[in-house]
Amino acid sequence: MAKRGKKYRESLQKVDRKKRYSFDEAVQLALDCSYASFDETLDLAVRLGVDPRHADQMVRGTVVLPNGVGKKIRVAVFAKGEKEKEALEAGADYVGSDDLVEKVQKGWLEFDKAIATPDMMSAVGKLGRILGPRGMMPNAKLGTVTFDVAKAVNEIKAGKIDFKVEKAGIVHAPMGKVSFGVQKLLENIAAFMDTILRLKPAASKGTYLRSIALSTTMGPGIKVDPGYVKDLLAQAS
């Protein structure tokens, strides 16, 4: 195991490793444990009682975090004609059709999210090997293959994130920056947890929310009691 630095060890001493905190306590503690010189991201990890090897237990979706993620998201839109204009007016950073596809094929990847109109997917499909492994491939299930490009661009710019359960049954997602403060981070977490609950597969048996943990980019993990989810959602409503 890599040797941890002095600041990390000092932060770790603030955390009771045996305790499962409430969301309010955990977020405040995570901020107290933040020590980096940059604005750290608060990450959330939720272990679900699902087996993602089975298609009927896959948990995947999107959520617009009410306070965004604290990062400027660069959006590229693959579209033609009037849809190009619509994308630009909505605030897309890069817009094009076959020319943009060719540019990406040559190695250009100066964007974070990609949107495509359905009529462009035959060309965009060629980028699967490039965009797929980076989680940037337009996907109809995630709302990024659509003719309503203005809505798609606006949602991503407003803080829309997509997530997918990993092989171990864990979902990871950023909840915003430390500079947001406790209240805004709690609002983002509430929106995310509400979506996770609504996406519970019918085939999932037993305990659905197995464990929850919060951590800043450089800080230690803080366990949260899943039993506090209802209280969190009640506060947000």
pLDDT tens digits for range 174-216: 999 999 999 999 999 999 999 999 999 999 889 999 999 999 9
CA distances from 60 to 11, 18, 88, 214 (A): 33, 30, 29, 20
Does position 134 have pLDDT exceeding 70, yes or no? yes
Does position 1 have pLDDT exceeding 80, yes or no? no
- pLDDT confidence of residue 102: 97
- pLDDT confidence of residue 197: 96
Say what angle helices 182-198 and 23-32 make with each other, to 10 degrees.
Answer: 130
* Third-level CATH fold of 75-157: Rossmann fold (3.40.50)
| Residues carrying CATH 3.40.50.790, the chain | 75-157
| Residues carrying CATH 3.30.190.20, the chain | 17-69+160-236
Angle at Cα 218 formed by Cα 214 and Cα 219, nearest 5°?
45
**Mean pLDDT of all residues in 52-67:** 93
What is the reported pTM?
0.86
Q: Write out the two tokens for 85.
A: 């204009």
Homologous superfamily, domain 17-69+160-236:
Ribosomal protein L1/L10, rRNA-binding domain (3.30.190.20)
Q: How would DSSP label each residue in 140-178?
A: GGGT-B-S-HHHHHHHHHHTEEEEE--TTSEEEEEEEEG
Q: Write out the two tokens for 200.
A: 């519970």
